[in-house]
Homo-oligomer: A and B are copies of this chain.
Amino acid sequence: MNDRILQVDNKVMKRLYNLDTNAHMDGALPVKTKEMLGLVASMVLRCDDCIKYHVERCKAEGITEDELFEVFSIANIVGGTIVIPHTRRAVEYWDALSSQ
């Protein structure tokens, strides 16, 4: 579906996709930190698809389960228990990735 969207001649959408990639690239902060930032932002904004994406990227960057749960705990404290159902689905996805 991303290809379908990028196929349309809409510069703003294309550049925003690029910017999102750029924002999470290695810079003053390492990729792993940026992916954790992306994850916590996605959790408090409660976007399951975004959470899945960043959990996967965090795993690829070598995040440990203890680190992951500390990201979760900040998201849940700052964002409230409304974040719990998203946390459950995030753990489910993390476990699925781990068992592959």
| B-binding residues in A (CB < 8 A) | 1-2, 4-5, 8-13, 15-17, 19-20, 22-24, 27-29, 33-34, 36-38, 40-50, 64-67, 69-85, 87-88, 91-92, 95
Please tell me how many copies of the chain the complex holds: 6
Tell me, rounded to whole Å, the shortest Cβ–Cβ distance linking A39 to chain B. 9
Report yes or no: A74 in contact with B37, Cβ–Cβ below 8 A: yes
- If over half of A's interface residues share one DSSP class (helix, strand or loop), that class is named, otherwise mixed; here it is helix
Using Cβ atoms and an 8 Å threshold, which residues of chain B touch A24? 74
Using Cβ atoms and an 8 Å threshold, which residues of chain B touch A16? 19, 73, 76-77, 81
* A28 in contact with B77 given A2-B88, A5-B88 (CB within 8 Å): no
